[in-house]
Amino acid sequence: MNSDTANYIIIQHADGSVALYWHMKKNSLTTKLVGQTVTAGEFLGNVGSSGSSTAPHLHLEVWRTTSSNTLNETYSGTCNRLNGSSWWVSQKPYTEPAIVKISTNLIAPVLPACPITETPNEDTCFNPGVTAKFYIFLRNETAGMTANLSIINPDGSTFASWVHNSATSYMGSYWYWNKTVPTTPGNYTFKTIYNGLICSRTFTINCSASGVNNLSTTLQPNFYPNPVKDVLYIQQNKTYTQYKLYNTLGQLVQQNSVPNDHVINTSSLGKGFYVLELTNDQGMRTTAKFLKQ
């Protein structure tokens, strides 16, 4: 807590009301100038912890006018003591339990305090029979809900499975388990199901074995420009065969075979961050993040 001013954006709507977005990350705000317009879904900036804040979050506040004494509650419900109806076009649930990310590691990730960037220490390849760490990162973990986790063999059968029962509710949480990985070389999948959402990650056992490629060395994504506007160019040695694009909610927004000219049309995407997933003909995958302007 301090007396510093946060990085913020104020949007004035056509009816005179304003929305205030506070505590945003340094140097991440849109380059739009005062007086210019934005559209629904347009990128404004990244969540941060600037100003008087104890942790990264978005403080969203709505006023009916440009005066702070006309504070409005955007959500309808029993806790709303300011106005009777919702101000959302389509009000979402107050919490949205979801899988943010899963990972496989030999070494634990380094998660320092804000503003230092974390070091994921993720691994996609393991020696046979070693002990690896299997991580899940959750948003709005809710007491009483269950995560089903499994390691899937190359033939689709289950090598191992276990359950995480959520005993406490958290805004953000992560959990990990130490598991002995298989001894048979091949491409395996770490899979998690939470709140009906499925997240999976491929890893390899014995990367030096004949016919098994190490994703981290053979499929490093190389694309440009980043940020991108209407066209994303993939530089590769013709190992990629399929691509998928996901938004920041993990929703699949575009997929297809990699074009012969290695050009992906991104003109239909809204502004914001996306994840590009590339797959080779052996089913191995790699991902990278880019910004659509």
Domains and CATH numbers, the chain: 1-92 (no CATH), 95-213 (2.60.40.1930), 219-293 (2.60.40.1930)
The answer on pLDDT for 112 being more than 90 is: no
What's the pLDDT at 236? 64
Span of 206-215, 232-241, 252-261 with lowest mean pLDDT: 206-215
| pLDDT tens digit sequence for 75-98 | 998 889 888 889 998 998 889 999
Q: What is the DSSP string of 136-167?
A: EEEEEE-TT-EEEEEEE-TTS-EEEEEEEE--
- Whether residue 210 has pLDDT greater than 50: no
Q: CA–CA separation, 138 vs 154, rounded Å? A: 26
Please name the residue that has the structure tokens 């003109």. Answer: 267
Which pLDDT band, with edges at 50, 70 and 90, does 106 fall under?
confident
Instruction: Report the predicted TM-score, pTM, of the whole model to 2 decimal places.
Output: 0.62
Which of 100, 96, 122 is closest to 109 using CA atoms?
122
Q: Which residue has the higher pLDDT, 287 or 171?
A: 171
Question: With 70 as the cut, is the pLDDT of residue 230 above it?
Answer: yes
What is each CA distance from 92 to 47, 119, 229, in whole angstroms? 19, 32, 29
